Structure 1
Amino acid sequence: MTDTTAPLSFEISRHTSPVNDVVRSVILDDPGFGNHFTDHMVSIDWSIEGGWDNARVIPYGPIALDPASSVLHYGQEVFEGLKAYRHEDGSIWGFRPEANATRLNLSARRLALPELPVEDFMRSLRELIAVDGAWVPSEYDTSLYLRPFMIANESFLGVRAAQKASYMLIASPAGPYFSSGVKPVSIWLPREYSRAGRGGTGEAKSGGNYAASLLPQREAVENGCAQVLFLNAENRDHIDELGGMNVFLVTRDGRLLTPNLNGNILHGITRSSIIQLAQDRGITVEERPVSIHEWKDGVQSGEITEVFACGTAAVVTPINTLKGEDFLVGDPEAPAGELTLSLREELTDIQYGRRPDPHGWMTRLDS
């Protein structure tokens, strides 16, 4: 359902009572993650008859939904996550935002939602930054988290794809993910739960996939772990991904192993960037099925020397233990691996403009 109409024009309606400079400064000193929101948001309407229209920047606030709105009953919803970074000269940049636009459309296609032209996606980011750029923090390892999302918005209870939809964009200042330095985490392997099955919605960034991960995630926390690992649903033998992050293993001879994109796994933008940076260094990267036994046996034998996860929020998270009901592999006291930290530093330095951007990944958003 790709829309090929002319680029949208945005109407700007400024907030009559925006957060004042003093309050915003206090928030930006310690924003946390997802706790505060900027003064404005973007909203664009879509209908099967008229395509995308009514693009606007409006004051942040509640949205009106009819009780019969199809998103509430059939879960037609997709979203994205990316960050705006303030560089040393004060300019504001996005990291591979076109890739987020492409992935949003991949998700929308799977959920039978309309595809938003990449140009309009990019324009939505720039229009929001134009009015809320002061919300992009400047302290080390901080950013403005951008959350584009799309919902089916037709008041109709029949089981079919909705003929009306809404695209929206909100933003939230984000503090450092690791406020006291990058620390390894423990991962829980549940006995019963799977995240996605073949032919399902696993590679779509849809809220239902995350809802399915919340119960096993609670189980992980109850067992002293920060995240949950999901195996493939068919035989529960191969790694898919964590609840919201892709996984990499580092071998003793310096190779990187990561599960291939098999339809169950999110097309991680951080994942693909890590692969590229590793290959730039001459590191062999193997994208292939990786069994849980390869992880467990490899750590015990020393063949696997580092494990890490990656995603937009934390960028790279080292993993030092994998736990289940009847096993524990790894060392809870082990520090983060050398390659793990090196790749994280290289990627974040590119994002914040502290080193060259050889692949042209950064896009300026405030111009």
Structure 2
Amino acid sequence: MVNSDAPYTDTQNSLIYNFAEGYNSDNPPVTQANVVFEDMNNSQISALSMTTMVGEATQSQVQLVNTGNAPATLGELSGLQLPLGASFDDPQCASSALQPNQACTLDLNLNSNKQAQVGSGSQTLIDTVANNQSGDPSLTINYSVQAAPQPHVVFENSQNQVITSLDTSTTPSASQDYLVKLVNTGEAPAALSNLSALQLPLAAAFSNAQCLQAPLAANESCSVTITLNPNRDAQVSSGSQTLTDVVADNQGGDPILSINYSIQDAASCTDPNASSYPAYDSGITYQAGVKVSYKHFIWRTKWYADKGMAPGQGSNQSGGSPWELVKPADMLFDWSANVVYQAGTRQCITVSSTRLVNMSMARLQKSGHQSSRNPLPGITCGLI
């Protein structure tokens, strides 16, 4: 019997055959390194895909494995440019021999800065290995840089509709609040900032202070209260202001809301329905419950009114004026030289046949001038 674990010698032919290694002295084995790329699951690979977002980095690992039967001397890694890079996980891999069946791990980096362009490409990583059986090992890296998720903060109304403008109105001395929302319709959290300052009579503020304390997550909202609050001496006027919130990296730019405001005098110098009633006649004694028109208003008798007792004047034996106005509470009376007006009191005056609201700037004694203040601009209450 031939021991298969020991070399067999044929003395006649001078041959040595090693059964365990499978060679003889006339055909010795080839000793050569064979370095290849493998993934971390020990599967040989020739290509790899990597993906990241703009402004972010990602890393993958592969192996250089010596599948040959001789040591291998690894060379410098080459072939990659930004945004790709590669390095040995253990720096000693580049300075010592890689023995058969040993591996060196490589770190592959795809690093995209904020200025990087969205796009894709392909590069080949090479390591020069002297006398490598299959040539220098190479790995094709296909990479993709995708747009990073962004917040998209917009203004919405209470009906969840995106708005870029808001119409507001009120009357002098009356404050009016309007509620809108800043909504993040994007895919990334948004850091809200302080709302831009508005000038009187407008103001805006977050309804909840926590809106500034934590990022606004995707599909979440923060309420904003917009206040139109003219002071007591406010002119009847209109205008427009812009409300902005600076949101970093917001898709489409910072959210902007144009606020149109109007301060309208609620007082009226005429009743549009007055013409539907007969005009007051000083020659008639009126019984209770009769309606007449007088100085552009509708008046009704509470009880009988003597001849010559015009609406708003005097009293009869029943006590007090027999007339009452059929009107809203904010209807104004005509200016009269027989009345003492306090500052801020409003009256109706006639300028060029146009009924206007007038307001006293200071206390006026009887027989004061009705031009105590220029009539408020544009407050036409009707034509005589």
- TM-score by length of structure 1 reads 0.21
More helix, by proportion:
1
Whichever structure has more strand as a proportion of its residues is 2
The structure whose Rg is larger is 2
